[in-house]
Amino acid sequence: MRDLLFLDGAMGTMLQTFGLQPGECPELLNVSRADWVKKIHRSYAKAGADIVETNTFGGNRIKLGSYGLSKMAYELNYAGVRLAKEATEGMDVFVAASMGPTGRLMEPLGDVDFHTCYEAFKEQVRAFQDAGADIISIETMSSLDEAKCALMAARDTTNLPIICHLSFDRGGRTVMGDDPVTAVAVSQTLGAFAVGANCSVGPSEMVGVIHAMSKVSDIPISAEPNAGLPELVDGVIVYPETPETMAEHAEELVRAGASIVGGCCGTTPEHIRAIRRRLGKLREPATANEVFQRLCIKWKLRL
Ligand SMILES: [Zn+2]
């Protein structure tokens, strides 16, 4: 028995099934198709997610700039949190505001400086905080430098608990060469509530990363693998992991040390339902609220 929390699954690939077109800005749907976004949140909450993640992954002004929507950054992030709050009102569910990379490399390798990224992330977190988010979830960072920038921006803007997820490639390192142990050290030092891995190459490959993290981490570990790498079958994108195989891997991730578990690209409410069904018995008989409060108390004592 342990303190275990269930995250939801993918947002982007779910929006595609509703009609998000290639080249369209997913975050714009927070104001143009609020009904789609709310429906997805509700189906994850009903499937057993304790935490739903907002449709704000690409909501920083740098990333929104590629759609000419930088000026809408605050509005789209604020709306994203409100939709998740409204969709789960009255349920034992927390809202984590998702925060992904800018899509540009930071100096000296790239052309965007640390301060510009930091300010863009701060603006996003201000909107999250104002709209009433419960958690901040940094995700799919393939550079520890950028993860650090997002974490510092969040920490300097809010007292909300922050989860710092990086995305690891085959070989257990990020694209930029960062390893899980350093990711834990940096996240802990900067006051993260939890550290972890998301997306990456698939759930079974993530087990080694989570195990390496758990050996050195004093804070909870979060695992949100994708449903394997997508394959093109007869012109249709298919993710290899079924709800059942995903649930098996989720159990391996929990046994390797994860205490927050969910899914990324290609996962659906059915995957989360299967994970919850299989792993629900490992959790102390407690509500999500009780588990979350307990973890928060430990986190605050550590700060
Ligand atoms: Zn993903």
Give the C-alpha separation, 170 to 36, whole Å.
34
Q: 55: closest CA among 119, 9, 3?
A: 9
For residue 283, report the distance from its CA to the centre of ligand 1, in Å: 25
How does residue 237 score in pLDDT terms, banded at 50, 70 and 90?
confident
Whether the per-residue pLDDT at 125 is higher than 90: the answer is yes
For residue 277, report the distance from its CA to the centre of ligand 1, in Å: 22
pLDDT at 291: 95
Give the C-alpha separation, 5 to 253, whole Å.
13
For residue 228, report the distance from its CA to the centre of ligand 1, in Å: 10
Whether the per-residue pLDDT at 22 is higher than 80: the answer is yes
Residue range 84-92: mean pLDDT, rounded: 97
pLDDT at 206: 97
- Overall domain count for the chain: 1
Helix axes 180-189, 144-155, angle to 10 degrees: 20
Total residues belonging to the chain: 303
For residue 261, report the distance from its CA to the centre of ligand 1, in Å: 14
Q: 199: closest CA among 123, 101, 63?
A: 101
For residue 200, report the distance from its CA to the centre of ligand 1, in Å: 7
Q: 198: closest CA among 224, 163, 171, 164?
A: 224
CATH of the domain at 166: 3.20.20.330
Which residues does 124 contact at the CB level (< 8 Å), separation at least 6?
56, 59, 60, 61, 73, 77, 97, 99
Give per-residue pLDDT as tens, 59-80: 999 999 999 999 999 999 999 9
* pTM across the whole model: 0.97
For residue 302, report the distance from its CA to the centre of ligand 1, in Å: 30
For residue 280, report the distance from its CA to the centre of ligand 1, in Å: 23
Report whether 222 contacts 233 (CB < 8 A).
Answer: no
Whether the per-residue pLDDT at 216 is higher than 90: the answer is yes
For residue 210, report the distance from its CA to the centre of ligand 1, in Å: 16
pLDDT at 145: 97
Torsion of Cα atoms, 77 then 25 then 110 then 172, to 10°? 80
For residue 9, report the distance from its CA to the centre of ligand 1, in Å: 9
Q: Could you list the residue range(s) of the whole structural domain that residue 239 is in?
A: 5-302
Residue 299 buriedness (CB in 10 A; 0-12 / 13-18 / 19+) = middle
Listed residues: CB within 5 A of ion ligand 1: 199, 226, 264-265
Task: Give the Cα-Cα-Cα angle 266, 10, 189 (nearest 5 degrees).
Answer: 120
Report whether 53 contacts 11 (CB < 8 A).
Answer: yes
Residue type for position 207: V
